[in-house]
Structure 1
Amino acid sequence: MSETTDLALLEIKPEQAPALYIANGLDAYLDQIRELAAEVPDVTTKKGRDRIGSLARMVGSSKKAIEEPGRAYLKQLKEAVKPAEDELRRFTRECDTIRDQILAPRAAWDVEQERLKAEEEARIAAEKLAAQIEADHEIALLLNEKFDRDAAEAKAEAAARREADLKAAKEKAEADAKAAQERAEREAKEAQERTARLAQEAREQAERDKQAAIEAEQRKAKAAEDARLAEEKRIADEAAARAANEAHRKTIGTVVVNALMGHAGLTRVQAIDVLTQIKDGNIPHTSITY
């Protein structure tokens, strides 16, 4: 069995943190711990098994001595970048608002163009209908003249019937003209209503899109805040657990020291030394249960 020198008490000072907690910055400490782990105690003896426990505890103590200041340094770094994250979030939100304000006139212009286009199409359709009505009216007038000529030439023959036919044709032409005018007016009104509806729908959709973007940003911010709070709780819980364990160990140590002083007649210094030797596994067949 070969033995190595025990690890010296590790202590990381705050000013060392930036140079240590970087890529491969802790290699020197790892090399010391690996050198300690290279020792091979004799597992068949009580002393060897105790030595294995002591080596494991030294590795745990070293890990704790390196990890705790590292966690504290990491927390400082996170607190340092939080204002930058908040400012970037505010900046992007304001940029989105400015962008929407910039796009608003164009969106309104597009809606107005659609309305004008619909009105123009309705006007053209109305003009075509009016032209058709005028043509039908002229045909009706020609028919009237023809009927008049026929009546004059044939004199009284079938005058009553032709007069009725003429009246019916005239009434039909007027009815067709009226129907065409009403249809043109109705289509123009429908086009205007459709344009207004499209404009309103466009405004409502823009508002929904804006609200959805705001809600998405709020959900993203809440998720980030929840993650931050969870991390802080985890760190606080770990610190509390470590503090409770340390307090428990100190309480047990105090009880042992007091017992050694009261029952073994040792001074406080001697009792503490005995406790240390027992904890380190240097006194065979003895141990402390925490």
Structure 2
Amino acid sequence: MSASNELAAVPPRETALQVFQVPNGLEPYLQKIRDEIDAFVPDVSTRKGREAIASIAYKVARSKTALDNVGKELVAELKEIPKKIDAERKRMRDTLDAWQEEVRRPLTAWQAAEDDRVDRHQARIQQLRDLMDVETLFAEGIRFKISQTEAVVVDEGFEEFESEAHQVKAKTLESLRASLTKQEKHEAQQAEMERLREEVAAREQKEREERIAREAEDRARREAEQKAQAEREAVQRREIEAKAAAERRELELKLQAEQAERARAQAEADRAAAEQRAEQQRQAAALQAERDIELAREEERRRADAAAAEILRQQEAREADKAHRASINRAALDAFIAGGMPEACAKQAVTLIAQRKIPNIAISY
């Protein structure tokens, strides 16, 4: 940045950090700018004076930018220092971790082998413990597990777990033998119960077969008796049906004769009733014709009376309306005369208003 564009020089790079670290370290540079501002006499009356003011203001702004850029560059450099420190710390940690792993590798391999050895012994001991589970086994299965347990050889091959293996094997055999005793007793009880159930079932089967035989014999006897009874009842039923058929035939002939007589009497009664109905209908028609004529005459009289009454009513209404209008017109006339209008003029005014010849003025009747 040229000197013509700023009012104060910036701190040199080698001393810039010390200047910015000290409180008010930039004060000499700011004071130089202040002195330049105070020494300047602004003149806005001429173009040159106005341009001089703008130039000084621009130099102040450029000085601000120059000083701020120095501080910004210092901050950027300082921010790189923690990154470099962190990178070296990471390199140190990674190196020492690798060296730690290198040093410990034999111990780690030994520990893995030791854990594997212990796990194998524990697994063999757990297999002995698992042989105690006989929840769903019969006695034969428990005997097989006892033979499996007895076949397990516990010796120095178990190393420091030999004592525990002996204890677990003994406990497993004790548990299996107790379970075998209990299961054998249970199976013996089940066998005895099964034998008793079979005896009961055989006895019930025999009793059932004997009962079926007796029931079959009784059923055959009842069927023979029922068949004989049915044959006797069939003979009696045929005799009764023959007798009933003869009686029905005799009754039917009697009924047919009675029905024929009733039909003849009914026909005679129907004929007489028809003649009577015809006469009654003729008389009723004649009477109805007379009534219709009389009703027509009466209706004609009512219509004539109503028409006459309507004419009279309309005439009376017209006369009443005429009298009503004359009364109202007379009252208007009297009002005009009372107001000082001559009677002839008042009559003419009332007439013109009544005939609606005067706009916006009307008489309410």
Question: TM-score band (shorter)?
Answer: 0.3 to 0.5
Task: Please say which structure displays the higher CA radius of gyration.
Answer: 2
> Structure 2 length normalisation: TM-score?
0.29
- When normalised by structure 1's length, the TM-score is 0.36
